[in-house]
Amino acid sequence: MNTLVCRRPGQLAYEQRPAPAVPPGHALLRIRRIGICGTDLHAYEGTQPFFSYPRVLGHELAGELLDADGAPGFRAGEAVTFIPYFSCGRCVACRRGLPNCCTQINVCGVHIDGGMTELLAVPTAALVPGQDLSYDELALVEPLAIGAHGVRRAGVQPGEFVLVVGAGPIGLGVMEFARIAGGRVIALDLNQQRLDFCRQKLGVEYTINAGSADVAEQLRSITSGDMPTVVIDATGSQRAINGAFSYLAHGGRFVLVGLQKGDISFAHPEFHKREATLMSSRNATREDFEHVIASMKAGLVQPTTYITHRVAFGDVQQQFAGWLDPATGVIKAMVELN
């Protein structure tokens, strides 16, 4: 089967590999869609933590279920997705119902080989029913679940201002689910094209270009001097994360969805006097996946709006590097397999 491998930073290559073994308790999927994520791009750049090479990328996946090994509620031929974070079930996090931050977690396409291939075996326990959603929609459930989980971590309340730093695909998902939770969303990004997308496609009420000299003043004006009570970073940029501490209201919560390799630095007195809360948000849970699917089916989210680029699987190697360039206007690239 044809498989695309990231052999080292900056190098992708197609390889012919045998069909995967399917151990008991595993399902076999024919991959139909692969969403390209920031994690994939950062792995290609060599800036992704928790990563080793060579690696088959891809964890935003939808596929045709070929064999479910008797898993109840599933049938051969249906469209499905799956939760791509495989947990141990035994560690302190798993025992407390937090498999998304399992101490021994294996994330598909990060710690173990992912879905940039024709056939993939996954644990049946990870399967998520497609509920008549399209392959495009199902491939977008996982990135939206990342945003939904970050919003749930933040405990967004109706009417409060939520500053989302970063208007990439994950940030857009954060904005969507902050809105669904009743938050008043403010988008902050350096890319004006993405900010325009937020307003025109997602109906985001407030946008601020991060290159402006008066970001803090604009935030004060929008929030009547209070500043946002929730700040959620979706950039994975050390500079953006460190800078966003100054945008947080007294008593506010700062949630880090984005991930970078360096250290966070902030003024302790400023953070302390706010009695602020700092949290990370890692991966997502089945609860988040179910919330996303329910929101899609209710028409609260239009996921295919995010798809700006489509590419056949055989052309990914040639086009992949271009998706790192903001000038291409890519929001979400979707890989199609027949």
Q: What is the pLDDT of residues 152-187, one digit of tens each?
A: 999 999 999 999 999 999 999 999 999 999 999 999
Lowest mean pLDDT among 29-33, 53-57, 309-313, 326-330: 326-330
The pTM assigned to this predicted structure is: 0.95
Closest CA to 84 of 25, 145, 132: 145
Closest CA to 63 of 107, 126, 145, 106: 126
Distance CA 54, CA 168 (A): 26
pLDDT at 338 over 90: no
Distance CA 127, CA 116 (A): 18
pLDDT at 51 over 90: no
Chain centroid to CA 160? 23
Residues in the chain: 338
pLDDT reported for residue 49: 81
Cis before 54? omega within 30? yes
73 by Cβ neighbours in 10 Å (0-12 / 13-18 / 19+) ranks as exposed
Name residue 64's beta-bridge partners. Answer: 30, 79
| pLDDT band at 230; cut points 50, 70, 90 | very high
CB 59 within 8 A of CB 115: yes
pLDDT reported for residue 11: 96
Domain ranges of the chain: 2-139+302-336, 147-280
Higher confidence at residue 110 or residue 338?
A: 110
pLDDT at 212 over 90: yes
Mean of all residue pLDDT scores within the chain: 96
Domain 2-139+302-336 grouped into CATH 3.90.180.10:
yes
| pLDDT band at 126; cut points 50, 70, 90 | very high
Shared fold status for 2-139+302-336 and 147-280: no
User: Of all residues in the chain, what percent carry a pLDDT higher than 90?
Assistant: 93
pLDDT reported for residue 261: 83
CB 330 within 8 A of CB 306: no
pLDDT reported for residue 141: 98
CATH of 147-280, one of 3.30.70.1250, 3.40.50.300, 3.40.50.720, 1.50.10.20: 3.40.50.720
pLDDT at 326 over 90: no
CB 292 within 8 A of CB 144: yes
